[in-house]
């Protein structure tokens, strides 16, 4: 069995919420071996994501949360690779803003595990940026995929509908800062960082 690795691409497009639209670059992360993979988030451009998938079997399209810049092409991608879309149930109201007529295929449940080859992603519910925001942690890879919950430089935004700053900070401190300091943080936007660097900057 080939070992599990992380591949990625950066897509460009927009994020819209509360009647405003912004230009954004999004990271799409693909965790897998030579045979199979899991796609984390489905931003902007199916072809760019398929290039990273590179013909491998896609086990799931796992959405860190349902803001439109993270899920806009999820149905199209899921159909083209025949994989289920997974999203925490608390983000269904946010999902329906972008996809009123399509539902995700299954839930991401806190404590659940998504196996890929000889590794796995553990689902951690980290509400705050969005009510159903999750982080996906792999102890084997020493990596956590944080979506928009924690960036290089601090917590995600909480100025818009469905967000709550106190809830976000509690999620980060209780769940993410409990991970080992050398855990690499791959976020939904921008450069990667580590738990230790961000915990030092924000305070535990």
148 touches Zn ion (CB under 5 A): yes
90 touches Zn ion (CB under 5 A): no
Cβ at position 48, least distance to Zn ion in Å: 19
Query: In angstroms, rounded to a whole number, what is the distance separating the alpha carbons of residues 200 and 63?
Result: 28
Cβ at position 107, least distance to Zn ion in Å: 19
The terminus-to-terminus CA distance of the chain in angstroms comes to 39
Q: Which is nearer to Zn ion, 19 or 203 (CB)?
A: 19
What tokens were used for 29? 């992360």
67 touches Zn ion (CB under 5 A): yes
Q: Which stretch binds Zn ion (CB under 5 A): 2-10, 55-63, 81-89, 141-149?
A: 141-149
Cβ at position 69, least distance to Zn ion in Å: 7
CB count in 10 Å sphere of residue 105 = 15
Subset of 22-51 contacting Zn ion (CB under 5 A) = none
Residue ranges that bind Zn ion, judged by CB under 5 A:
67, 148
């Amino acid at each position: 069995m080939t070992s599990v690795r992380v591949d990625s691409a950066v897509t460009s497009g927009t994020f819209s919420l509360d009647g405003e639209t912004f230009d954004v670059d999004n990271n799409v992360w693909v965790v897998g071996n030579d045979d199979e993979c899991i796609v984390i988030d489905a931003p902007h451009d199916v072809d760019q994501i398929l290039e990273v998938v590179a013909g491998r079997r896609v086990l799931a399209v796992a959405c860190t949360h349902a803001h439109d810049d993270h899920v806009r092409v999820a149905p199209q991608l899921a159909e083209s690779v025949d994989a289920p879309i997974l999203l925490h149930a608390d983000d269904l109201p946010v999902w329906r803003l972008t996809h009123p007529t399509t539902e995700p295929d299954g839930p991401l449940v806190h404590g659940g595990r998504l196996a890929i080859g000889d590794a796995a992603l553990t689902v951690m519910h980290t509400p705050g940026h969005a009510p159903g925001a999750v982080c996906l942690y792999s102890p084997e890879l020493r990596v956590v995929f944080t979506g928009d919950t924690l960036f290089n430089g601090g917590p995600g935004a909480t100025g818009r509908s469905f967000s709550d700053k106190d809830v976000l900070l509690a999620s980060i401190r209780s769940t993410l800062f409990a991970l080992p300091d050398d855990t690499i943080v791959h976020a939904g936007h921008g450069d990667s960082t580590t738990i230790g660097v961000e915990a030092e900057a924000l305070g535990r």
